[in-house]
Amino acid sequence: MLIMTSQWLIGMVYLGAAFLLIFGLWRMSSPVTAAGGIHVAGWGMLAAVLVSFLYVFSVSEAARPQLPVNVSLALVALLLGGGMAWWSGRKAAMTAMPQMVAIYNGMGGGAAAAIAAMELFGSRVFDLSTLAGTLFGALIGAISLSGSLIAWAKLDGRLNKPLRMKGLQLINALLMLVTLSVGAWLMVVMQDAGGSLSHVLWLIGVFFGCALLFGVLMTLPIGGADMPVVISIYNAFTGLAVGLEGFVLQVPALMIAGMLVGAAGVLLTLLMAKAMNRTVVHVLFARFGDQPTRKGAVIEGELKPTAASDAGVAMRYANKVIIVPGYGLAVAQGQQKLYEFVKLLQAHGVLVRFAVHPVAGRMPGQMDVLLAEAGVPYDLIFQLEDINTDFPDTDVVLVIGANDVVNPAARSDKSSPIYGMPILDVDKAHHVYVVKRGEGKGYAGIQNQLFYGENCNMVYGDAQAVLVKMIEAVRGLA
């Protein structure tokens, strides 16, 4: 009776948790409700984790002696993992968010791979469809783990140079073929093993080793410009791996959560690829991460530096101002000063809005999170497709730390490596001020035509320091 009651309660809580996960994800689709959606989904996951302890009432007699140790280990793992996540989440700076997301996503893929390993090493999977799901979940979970760790190392500056070697794509293809062959062999052997798998444990190890190595080799050649797509791809991998292992364990909460994360990751990957003028097939298989061979046309004209105070005064007397944030703003931690400057302009009757490119920064949505952290109202933040037609009627555009996403070469120069990529039409505004530390190039490695335009001036310096000077200049006006 107790077992039936616990099973019924587990099922009901899983159903409620699934609803909270779906509802939370739906709320995350809008910046206005995203924070609340995260909390709702978090409560759902917490409920699913806690109710899982009721499985102790349905364990077999043979497993009961190990129950105290196993429950204790589970509690210790939850406390350690939760404590480390809480500490690292509060400590991480905004510029560290991409690498934190990458490594947390990798931990999810690793957890799914660990579940698969437990099932395989425990010799409990013999049904063909279940075995296939276990191995496939193990494969993509392991790839997500090792690939996300490499992405984290790149974003954190621990691996600065992409590894590119001739024939690497062929090596990766052969490695994947070997991995799949070992997986197929495992399916045959485990079907005929009759419960004794001690002689094929090494084969399981080879399978996981090949999958982990593939994730490393697939990610090493990728440069920083492709990191938003990489993160979203591995996010989809992790979700799919979790969903498959939920199927193996027959845990509805894992299946639903995994499918939601996987579907969201796939959609995000498609959006990121479109924003970079790539197809997903090209991103995954066709020279992904290679250095551009096309350098773009020669740019005529010269850069025109100006003082931060002059730029601030020009915006004070403008009617319409659009601000384009980029990764340089995150590096300088200048979002608070930026919003202070915006409120100062608004107090003088200036219409100020923000334009965000889908791949600005180093992870999807980084600029939206950066502005939200500073308290910028959501109704001032516009995406590319919603604000691009407004640039011709805008008096001043302020670009802070952005480069390739505002380069007009994407529209006009067929020899440019970014040709065809949707950009913010900043160059069509009446005047543009670009805040940059120096004359460095963007991720694409090409000069920006915008910077040499007749309507563009460069304001050199750290973004936060520049914004302080702009604020002082506007406050000094009568």
CATH number (domain holding residue 460)? 3.40.50.1220
Domain check: are 5 and 78 in the same one?
yes
pLDDT for residue 248 is more than 90 = no
Quick one: pLDDT band at residue 298, thresholds 50, 70, 90?
low
Three-class secondary structure of residue 383 per DSSP: strand
Domain check: are 370 and 462 in the same one?
yes
pLDDT for residue 87 is more than 50 = yes
Domain check: are 20 and 132 in the same one?
no
Residue 302 falls inside a structural domain: no
pLDDT for residue 295 is more than 60 = no
Residues 180, 211: Cα–Cα separation, whole Å: 9
- The H or E element containing residue 434 is strand 431-436
Q: What angle do CA 358, 364, 368 make, to 5 degrees?
A: 75
More confident residue, 29 or 463: 463
- Winning range, highest mean pLDDT, from 225-239, 356-370, 419-433: 419-433
Nearest to 396 by CA among 474, 478, 299, 332: 474
Q: Please say whether the beta carbons of 240 and 4 come within 8 A.
A: no
Q: Residues 401-416: pLDDT tens digits?
A: 888 889 898 888 777 7
* Active-site annotation holder among 404, 413, 425, 427: 404
Task: Give the total number of structural domains in the chain.
Answer: 3
pLDDT for residue 226 is more than 80 = no
According to DSSP, residue 287 is labeled S
Quick one: pLDDT band at residue 446, thresholds 50, 70, 90?
confident
Is the alpha carbon torsion for 72, 73, 77, 78 positive or negative? negative
**Residue 460: strand pairing partners:** 436
pLDDT for residue 436 is more than 80 = yes
Q: Residues 112-151: pLDDT tens digits?
A: 999 888 888 776 556 777 888 889 999 999 999 999 999 8
What pLDDT, on the 0 to 100 scale, is given for residue 15?
85
Number of neighbouring beta carbons within 10 Å of residue 172: 16
More confident residue, 414 or 353: 353
Residue 298 falls inside a structural domain: no
Q: Which domain, by its residues, includes 28? A: 1-58+69-91
- Winning range, highest mean pLDDT, from 51-65, 275-289, 460-474: 460-474
N- to C-terminal Cα separation, the chain: 81
Residue 63 falls inside a structural domain: no
Domain check: are 77 and 138 in the same one?
no
Residue 36 falls inside a structural domain: yes
Q: Please say whether the beta carbons of 30 and 268 come within 8 A.
A: no
Mean pLDDT throughout 259-287? 74
Mean pLDDT throughout 339-358? 94
Domain check: are 383 and 238 in the same one?
no
What pLDDT, on the 0 to 100 scale, is given for residue 287?
47
What pLDDT, on the 0 to 100 scale, is given for residue 412?
81
| Range name among 25-39, 342-356, 456-470 with the lowest pLDDT average | 25-39
Domain check: are 261 and 113 in the same one?
yes
Residue 38 falls inside a structural domain: yes
Residue 409 falls inside a structural domain: yes
Domain check: are 277 and 354 in the same one?
no
What pLDDT, on the 0 to 100 scale, is given for residue 421?
83
pLDDT for residue 169 is more than 70 = yes
Domain check: are 326 and 403 in the same one?
yes
What pLDDT, on the 0 to 100 scale, is given for residue 325?
94
Domain check: are 11 and 35 in the same one?
yes
Domain check: are 314 and 456 in the same one?
yes
Residues 128, 447: Cα–Cα separation, whole Å: 56
Three-class secondary structure of residue 158 per DSSP: coil
Q: Is 123 left (phi over 0), alpha (psi -120 to 50) or beta?
A: left
pLDDT over 70 for what percent of the chain? Answer: 87
Q: Is 404 considered catalytic here?
A: yes
Residue 368 falls inside a structural domain: yes
- How high is the mean pLDDT of the chain? 84
Q: Where are the beta strands (DSSP E) in 245-341?
A: 320-325
Domain check: are 8 and 112 in the same one?
no
Give the Å distances, CA to CA, from 174 to 26, 171, 217, 319, 454. Answer: 40, 5, 12, 60, 52
Residue 297 falls inside a structural domain: no
pTM of the prediction?
0.79
According to DSSP, residue 299 is labeled P
- Report phi then psi at 3, rounded to 5: -65, -45
Domain check: are 209 and 343 in the same one?
no
Is the alpha carbon torsion for 276, 280, 281, 284 positive or negative? positive
What pLDDT, on the 0 to 100 scale, is given for residue 195?
47
